[in-house]
Structure 1
Amino acid sequence: LVFILAVFAIPVAIFQYEAYDDPMIRERRGKGNDNRQAFCVAMCYEMVLLAIVFLTLGLMWNFLGTSEIPVTELKASIAEMSDVIYVTTPSAVAAKDSYSMELTQAERVGSNTVNSKDSTIDLPCSFAIYIMALTGFVGWFGFVVFGGVGIAAMPLTLINNYIDRPKIMTREEVAGEKLRIQEKTAELIQLGVDMKQERAAWWGGTHSWNERRKQKREDRTNVNQLKQMVYILEHELDMLLVCEGKAQNYNPLYPFICLIVVSV
């Protein structure tokens, strides 16, 4: 199930979402075939992606699919081993001459070792084991990077929650904040309308595949920036509602709890 989700379901859903937002497909909405076309585009992307990924993994497994197990090689002479008298019991020690002694198994091998060296044993790995090992190896780097960034950013987030906590405001300040939010809302609405008109005008012309690809990337960046500005505006509106006492399910102790957690 995890393999199906990671390899097929999630990538296809992402590709279909991006394809559904494509202007050429969006123009055909309402005709009953936009979802089908977006799904076909997503499946094409998925097939190309799977071909590239499995071809790369197959080549890597073919040339690197061996496991090197570290070992220590010990070389001993059989002739020398026959010249040494080994005694394993205390009673046998008394029966032997003064040159006899009790040796352990490790001492037996060491006493007759000519030389030793570190080496490796190459064992072939199956494709499934190679994928698991590669995923675990690469996953550790991702865990360290994202975990390190998250741990470093968490104190800053908690401190900002305390600094940006709702504060008591007068009626004049509340009215001024409402007016500012209304003006900013109107600006964002106008910005969204302008972006829509510019995209429609650009996609109405004829362009090469490379130009279309660059425009898609630029449109996606602009939309993400607009979403970020809308998110910030929504947060400011929530803080204003808290200051007015109209917010629900807000804990006034939360900013102070964040400060205590950072201090600890």
Structure 2
Amino acid sequence: SVGKRLKSALIWVVASAVVCGLVLGILYALIGKVDFTVRHLSSSVQAFPNPNQFGAFTSGQPCIAPLTRQCSANTAPPNSQTTWTMRATFPEYVVALATIVGSVLFTIFGGVGIACLPLSLIFSFVRRPKAVITRSQYIKEATELGKKAKELKKAAEALHQEERSGNKGRKWRKNVKAVEKELLLLENDMNALEEMYPQGEKAEATWAFTVLAYIGKLIFGIVG
């Protein structure tokens, strides 16, 4: 029923939120700190000099005596540098963590996608339909796809019946994924069949555009 589905969805949402909150909280307690590298600079003071006294400051002596080098970050001694450790706020920590994780994942999946796209276009050209099939072949293939669609419909109805009865174990989820995969393959087969047998008054033009589209995929795959 709808109530059971809402209850199940709410349980999954709450459980996911609790798990994510625990993970973020533990990580925040362990690594939720920020290190700042700072340098301590100091200088003596004296009365404001007249304009002629500015010539006494050089790159080797940028500060007022006796601290001749401790007011410049370029010439300050190494012991003037230290590290401050501060606890970041939780929103800042979440934003920083999301930025880092998102950048890493984008680099990985973006790189894989950029590398796979040209290969996918080239393989699409290789597996293209070579010629238009006859009407009898189209009817035969369409009949086979229709039978397969009926079988998948029965399997989907059986899974839906199991879902209503509350039998949603690992086997049920595995069968659902298998049916979804078969539906995707069936859709691809139907699209391929429509390409191999264009219909309508402009069937020849449709086939010509199909051929040009695959040639374009090959060109973009090679150039990319």
TM over 0.5: yes
CA distance in 2, matches of 1:107, 1:250: 82
The secondary structure found in structure 1 opposite 2:36 is strand
Contact between 2:133 and 2:197, CA under 8 Å: does it hold in 1?
A: no
The secondary structure found in structure 1 opposite 2:61 is coil
Specify the alignment match of 1:225 in structure 2: 181
Aligned residue identity for 1:183: E
Measured after TM superposition, the shift of residue 179 of structure 1 is 1.0
Specify the alignment match of 2:220 in structure 1: 261
CA distance in 2, matches of 1:201, 1:102: 85
Moved over 4 A (4+): 110-115, 196-207, 246-250
Specify the alignment match of 1:89 in structure 2: 54
The secondary structure found in structure 2 opposite 1:155 is helix
Structure 2 residue aligned with 1:135, among 95, 98, 105?
Answer: 98
TM (norm. structure 1) is 0.62
CA distance in 2, matches of 1:101, 1:55: 54
Specify the alignment match of 1:241 in structure 2: 197
TM (norm. structure 2) is 0.71
CA distance in 1, matches of 2:8, 2:118: 43
Larger mean CA deviation between 110-119 and 48-57 belongs to 110-119
Aligned length in residues: 209
Contact between 1:166 and 1:242, CA under 8 Å: does it hold in 2?
A: no
Aligned residue identity for 1:40: K
Aligned residue identity for 1:257: G
Is structure 2 residue 147 aligned with structure 1 residue 186?
yes
Higher relative contact order (CA 8 A, sep 6+): 2
Contact between 1:165 and 1:255, CA under 8 Å: does it hold in 2?
A: yes
Measured after TM superposition, the shift of residue 251 of structure 1 is 3.4
The secondary structure found in structure 2 opposite 1:256 is helix
Structure 2 residue aligned with 1:64, among 31, 40, 48?
Answer: 31
Structure 1 residue aligned with 2:170, among 208, 214, 219?
Answer: 214
Structure 2 residue aligned with 1:104, among 62, 71, 77?
Answer: 62
Aligned pairs for 1:169-180 (under 5 A) are 169=132, 171=134, 174-180=135-141
- Structure 2, unpaired ranges of 5+: 45-51
Change in 2 beyond 3 A, CA 1:168/1:104: same
